């Protein structure tokens, strides 16, 4: 299906807008997931005693469908999102959605809303699977019934005028999570506590917050809701996934593989903020922006400036390679791109 002709794709921003269809399935704990069904987009009734409302029992994912330069609609590494979704469900005491069902539903939702997939280069269709305890429960425990929904909305490019370096502030007051919690799960409850620190930083002129570890207050964990990378003397460094405090980003994993494909050495280790401030380049990764170059980091009375506050050579190369693979401009030697019809099977 061609992109809708009644949408001004050039005016599209990274914000919510309603589409035609969404997916809904419900099951009780201990029972298998039904096939579920596609229904018109709309509100969902819920008990005031729902587990998600009272105890935050819920997880979500974020993935994108987009058109290649040839016009094909594709998804990217949906299996990785499915695996993280399953791990999150198990951690929060909810029935696991199989990888097969997750990937089929993602495809079905995109196909049902194909007219909302922007033309190549104009944005993407952001797909949001959500799993939550909708069953009523008063005592602390898993909800007796769980709902799985998948909706989507078209979004414009995160950077309208090309990738631009951002300015980050290190938080000394707030921490994202502590060891042994749910930092490695895309849990609903992980995100609300970051809203005020992020909003305060933006009021001060920064783009986002950098969170340090809650124990020693010196090792970088995440940038708001993105993974952190820095480059020093040709080596790329990123915080190691240990202690359950960092989300294993799909874009993070893709970036590491692409960097190694390009011949760079990648070190997954503890990244000290003092070390990061001396880096040659800094960038962060996530589904929304893919790769965000960082021009400056301010920590207390110190400010590190990277690549002369411009997009660094390594950052640009990784961004162009990753987006080139996603849009079909470069070879997909790892089999990451999933065509909805024809070339690849879900």
- List pLDDT tens digits, range 129-162: 999 999 999 999 999 999 999 999 999 877 666 7
Mean pLDDT of the chain: 94
Q: Band of the pLDDT at 180, cuts 50, 70, 90?
A: confident
Do 288 and 163 form a contact (C-beta atoms < 8 A)? no
Sequence-distant (6+) residues with CB within 8 A of 131 are 58, 59, 60, 85, 88, 89, 94, 97, 146, 147, 148
Report pLDDT for 346.
37
Write phi, then psi, for 232 (nearest 5 degrees).
-140, 120
Q: What gap in Å lies between CA 94 and CA 132, rounded to an integer?
A: 8
Report pLDDT for 341.
67
The DSSP bridge partners found for residue 291 are 285
Q: Which domains, and CATH codes, for the chain? A: 9-155 (3.30.470.10), 166-326 (3.20.10.10)
64 is catalytic: no
The closest of 231, 251, 255, 227 to 241, measured between CA atoms, is: 227
Tokens read off for 98: 């199989």
Instruction: Mean pLDDT check: name the lowest of 104-108, 173-177, 261-265, 319-323.
Output: 173-177
Q: What gap in Å lies between CA 211 and CA 197, rounded to an integer?
A: 10
Helices (H) and strands (E) in the chain, counts: 7, 17
Report pLDDT for 155.
95
Distances (CA, A) of 67 to 2, 53, 101, 124, 155: 10, 36, 23, 7, 13
Instruction: Mean pLDDT check: name the lowest of 175-179, 204-208, 331-335.
Output: 175-179
Q: Band of the pLDDT at 342, cuts 50, 70, 90?
A: very low
For the segment 194-221, the average pLDDT, to the nearest whole number, is: 95
Single pTM value for the model = 0.94
Q: Which residue of the set 64, 122, 169, 186 is catalytic?
A: 186
Instruction: Mean pLDDT check: name the lowest of 2-6, 74-78, 123-127, 259-263.
Output: 2-6
């Amino acid at each position: 299906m061609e992109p809708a002709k009644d949408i001004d794709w050039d005016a599209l921003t990274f914000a919510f807008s309603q589409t035609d269809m969404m997916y809904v399935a419900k099951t009780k704990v201990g029972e298998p997931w039904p096939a579920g069904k596609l229904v018109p987009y709309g509100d969902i009734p819920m008990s005031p005693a729902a587990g998600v409302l009272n105890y935050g029992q819920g997880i979500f994912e974020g993935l994108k469908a987009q058109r290649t330069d040839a016009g094909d609609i594709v998804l990217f590494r949906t299996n990785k999102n499915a695996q993280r979704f399953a791990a999150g469900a198990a951690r929060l005491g909810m029935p696991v959605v199989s990888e097969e069902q997750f990937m089929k539903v993602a495809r079905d939702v995109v196909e049902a809303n194909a007219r909302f997939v922007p033309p190549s280069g104009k944005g993407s269709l952001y797909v949001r699977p959500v799993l939550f305890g909708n069953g009523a429960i008063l005592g602390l425990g898993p909800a007796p019934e769980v709902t799985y929904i998948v909706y989507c909305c078209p979004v414009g490019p995160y950077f309208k005028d090309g990738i631009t370096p951002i300015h980050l502030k290190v938080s000394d007051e707030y921490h994202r999570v502590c060891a042994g919690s749910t930092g490695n799960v895309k849990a609903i409850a992980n995100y609300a506590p970051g809203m005020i620190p992020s909003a305060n930083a933006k009021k001060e002129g920064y783009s986002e917050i950098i969170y340090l570890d809650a124990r020693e207050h010196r090792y970088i964990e995440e940038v708001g809701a993105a993974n952190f990378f820095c480059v020093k003397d040709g080596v790329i460094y990123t915080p190691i996934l240990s202690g359950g405090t960092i989300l294993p980003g799909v874009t993070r994993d893709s970036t590491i593989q692409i960097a190694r494909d390009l011949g760079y050495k990648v070190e997954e280790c503890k990244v000290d903020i003092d070390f990061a401030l001396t880096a040659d380049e800094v960038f962060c990764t996530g589904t929304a922006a893919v790769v965000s170059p960082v021009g400056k980091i301010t920590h207390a009375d110190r400010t590190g400036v990277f690549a002369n506050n411009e997009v660094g050579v390594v950052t640009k190369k990784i961004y162009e390679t990753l987006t080139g693979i996603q849009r079909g401009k470069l070879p997909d030697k790892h089999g990451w791109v999933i065509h909805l019809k024809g070339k690849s099977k879900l």
